[in-house]
Structure 1
Amino acid sequence: MKSLLIACACLLMAGCNQEHQHSAPVAIEKYSKADSLMKEQLPDTITKENHSAIMEFILGKPKHTIKTIGILVYDGVNDLDMMGPRYVLGQAGAKVQLIALHPGNIKTVMGVRVVPDNVIDSVNQLDILVIPGGFTGTIQAVYDERLHDWIRKIDKGTTYTAGVCSGVWVLGATGLLEGKRASTNWYREEEFLKKFKAIPANERYTHDGKYWTSAGVTAGMDMSLAILNDNWGEKYTQGVMLDMEYDPAPPISGGSPEKTGFLVEWMMKAMYDAGVDPLMDSLERKKKITP
């Protein structure tokens, strides 16, 4: 039984890496007239003295001033759900914190020990809040009213509030996604989004107002790049993507139910069910008993 649950957890984490419907990226003109005209106004070399002015001239200024970014972490959080957005948004020039539920280190689903920067009780304001997914810890967070109260408090002051993969379930449990279009991991997507009165979008990532939600794991990086693009603009986002050399080229077609063989899809869902249903049933019963 223990090995089955471990397998379920690992498969759910791997399965978060699924591709939903999304529009083709906007094509970029390599040698545009506008860029050529801008380049004529710039010096030939970038130095320590002029680099800030050159960057501002090329990249422009952000739509909103973002000073603080917080990423929720907890035992069993998915490594890439957390670190993908951390890497992307960490290049926005803001203070980025990993914020835990309790004091002490946390352990990711892959066994990596992480030292959080802060705990939720000590954080009262953020410009961007990101809630990553996972497995057992995520499902427990869906029933954590203390955490929900904190998320709702922080959300009152955010410019962007975001969820990645099954982290969207946690965000949905706060009631903040009610009546809003949203995306999440492909696994029982419509069921879970409707449970929280959200509107299933079936997209790689979705934004409705200030709320941004994504499909699983790798989609959190796409969503974070989309947030960069929305606030800091196209050139800034291109710079970050080039720094990451972000140009995915998987070896085979896959990453969504539509692109996966039926037998593999059936196996993955059955394994998820075996891990998710007993845990959620147990927490539902506990919720009914707790006054």
Structure 2
Amino acid sequence: MPEVTAARVPGTELTDEPLVEIKDLRVHYRTTKGDVPAVNGVDLAIRRGEILGIAGESGSGKTTLAVALLRLLRPPGYVAGGEIVFRPRGSPPVDLLELDERRLRALRWKALSYLPQGSMNSMNPVMRVADQFRDVILEHRRDLRGDVDAMIRRLLRQVGLDENVARMYPHELSGGMKQRVLMAISIALEPDLVVADEPTTALDVTIQRVILQSLGDLRDQFGVTLVVISHDMGVHAQLVDRVAVMYEGKVVEVGDVRQVFKRPQHPYTKSLIESIPKIGEAPWREEQRSRVP
């Protein structure tokens, strides 16, 4: 079992106040053989200031839950029922599923942001990095036009990148650099919530560590609430405060990450934890030994 190292920096605010409350959320996909439930009656609270992990194998409903929360769901998927109550700073609570497009657009990036899966394909290949920042910032905050270049340089430094990256095209960046550029864009307007979908996919282990540290810094330095979606329980062990485990479209267990790893309550959670490779463990060696006469 990996060491569970997620820890809060002293002084970082974490409260029991819910930033998001998901209630009886149901998301279905239409098929020629009838509707298929992908998220089936999920109840989940996201506390302000925390890093919440959502774990589960492929097909468990993790990403569908995220895109429903962000109102990015596309046909044949549709929300069959439930509500998602969001409490942005300085504004009254809203049900994200009931907002019209104009009000939803006003919340995106400024209060609700997304770090998509697959950094390789999430940037415009024919635009310089700085122009991609400007697109997001000026679309929502035209009053920052005179400050945008200084903002871009500051944001790049905050995720550990050189200011010269602003002049580059995406093909000139490594996978880890692209992921950090997307992180910087996602926090440019200081949102309340960032949803990161499989942020370490397709990255080598050394870069994964850098990305996880950068994600932790977003919360600790800027007070951003993070939802981290990953099938990798090792990622959750290193990063999150609490973890919610999904299985067949339902949340089967939620708890403090240390408690979940030490005393998992659901058999599926236990199986996920046991699937993590252990140092020195090589099943093929045991198989070889068993064949030796």
TM-score of the alignment, normalized to the shorter chain, above 0.5: no
Q: Normalization by structure 1: what TM-score?
A: 0.32
Relative contact order (alpha carbons < 8 A, sep ≥ 6): 1 or 2 greater?
A: 2
Structure number with the higher helix fraction is 1
